[in-house]
Copies of this chain bind each other. A is one copy, B any other.
Amino acid sequence: MASRSPASYERFSAQNLVVLAPLRAGLADSKAELAKLTGLSPSTVAARVDELIGLGHVVEVGDGVSRGGRRPRRLALRRDAGIVGCVDLGIDRTSIGLVDFSGELVSRSDIHLDIAEGPDRVLGRVWDECQKLVAADERHARLFLRGLSVGVPGPVSRVDGRVIAPSRMPGWNGVDVARLLGDISGVPVLVNNDANLMALGEFASGDRSQPDQVFVKAGSGIGCGIIARGELFVGSRGAAGDISHVAVLDAAPVPCSCGRVGCLDALASGNALVREMQNSGREVPNVEAMIALARDADPVATRLLREAGTMTGGVLATIVNFFNPDRLVIGGVLSQSEVFVAGVRSTLYAECLPMATGDLTIATPARPDDCGLLGAGTAFLDRMFSEQGV
């Protein structure tokens, strides 16, 4: 959440933001609609729009269809007014992408990168790769890279922006990623937890009429992001959504890295499942292989994935009752396993009251591979198009 702004960018005035917000959200696409939505007079809207056109942030994109009178001249955000470099740092694989001002992914690159190499080497490599992406496209080369937005596989303090006790990121404890990458790149940098950004990405590219959502990232570890009232919720410290060490009902006493036994992460995460397979005498290289085995009806893999789904669903049942979200999204690698998702679903419906699940949508991500990067972009753009700025 923290940011450093080595090359701070112009901030939008509150007045312009009133007009920009509906355009960005797709709630209005003409001056008349803007006037209706904002309550401003037509003349005021015209003045604001003219200024934004002059600034190069809004463009007229032809005529709309008439609704019984003069047809509207359609307005849109200039998506190529700039780009944001988005990074989804993983344990051994990192995705880097460029997102335009409309929030859409315009290019991406996936590289193998061991996070244990440490912040300096990893972030240096990330910046190199990002510059390559910018240079690769003739169009982008002329565009202004407004900043970077990074998701990391561990908790990020909201107080000082540092990575806190990341169990899967040796050498990163207490590191101020925003500052480090800001110094390397010279552009503003935002940092957040990866599951939080995936939640935001899935929300922003999906149905915004469901303002309360929970996104579970069931990957090698288990994380979770919360959207409350249409905004990312991270709590005062930034650690909200961390369900790794929630105790599981009727669980086997498997020891966890946190020192206790029976944590969700120690039982139902991708890592835990691979370990369990090996304990059963079945060597699998990774979760993906295990999911493939389950698809081929391997009994052990199927059972373990189903059980993991059940355990995850049990924890989510409490959360659904408590938070009562409109939508629950099951993401991460494990969400590619039908057995796992079925386990989550059936447990949720069994353990929640109909009142809580009646209007609840349970889904997998619309764009499983992109939601992390899209969320990083959304986080940056939401802030840039706010009074705070970047």
Q: Which positions in A face B, CB cutoff 8 Å?
A: 155, 164-165, 210-212, 224, 226, 228-229, 233, 235-237, 239-243, 245-247, 249-250, 258, 260, 314-315, 317-319, 321-326, 351-353, 355-356, 359
Which of chain B's residues has its CB closest to A347's CB?
B247
Chain B min CB distance to A99 (Å): 26
Q: Are B318 and A247 in contact (CB under 8 A)?
A: yes
Q: Are A318 and B321 in contact (CB under 8 A)?
A: no
Which of chain B's residues has its CB closest to A356's CB?
B239
- Among A224, A260, A356, the most chain B Cβ lie within 10 Å of the Cβ of A356
Give the docked Cα–Cα distance between A318 and B242 (Å). Answer: 10
Which of chain B's residues has its CB closest to A242's CB?
B321
Chain B min CB distance to A169 (Å): 15
A-B contact pairs, 19 of them (CB 8 A): A155-B355, A210-B236, A212-B235, A224-B322, A228-B229, A235-B323, A235-B325, A237-B324, A239-B355, A240-B322, A240-B324, A241-B322, A243-B318, A243-B321, A247-B314, A247-B318, A319-B322, A322-B322, A322-B323
Given contacts A239-B356, A241-B322, A247-B314, 14 further A-B contacts (CB under 8 A): A226-B323, A228-B228, A228-B229, A228-B233, A229-B229, A235-B323, A235-B325, A237-B324, A242-B321, A243-B322, A245-B321, A245-B352, A247-B318, A322-B322
Q: Are A229 and B233 in contact (CB under 8 A)?
A: yes
- Among A224, A245, A250, the most chain B Cβ lie within 10 Å of the Cβ of A245
Q: Are A356 and B242 in contact (CB under 8 A)?
A: yes
Which of chain B's residues has its CB closest to A249's CB?
B249
Which of chain B's residues has its CB closest to A211's CB?
B236
Residues on B with C-beta less than 8 A from A237 are 324, 359
Residues on B with C-beta less than 8 A from A324 are 235-237, 239-242
Which of chain B's residues has its CB closest to A247's CB?
B351
Which of chain B's residues has its CB closest to A209's CB?
B236
Residues on B with C-beta less than 8 A from A249 are 247, 249-250
Q: Are A321 and B246 in contact (CB under 8 A)?
A: yes
Q: Are A355 and B318 in contact (CB under 8 A)?
A: no
Q: Are B165 and A355 in contact (CB under 8 A)?
A: yes
Q: Are A318 and B351 in contact (CB under 8 A)?
A: no
Give the docked Cα–Cα distance between A237 and B320 (Å). Answer: 13
Chain B min CB distance to A235 (Å): 4
Chain B min CB distance to A89 (Å): 20
A228-B228, A315-B318 known; A353 and B245 CB under 8 Å?
A: yes
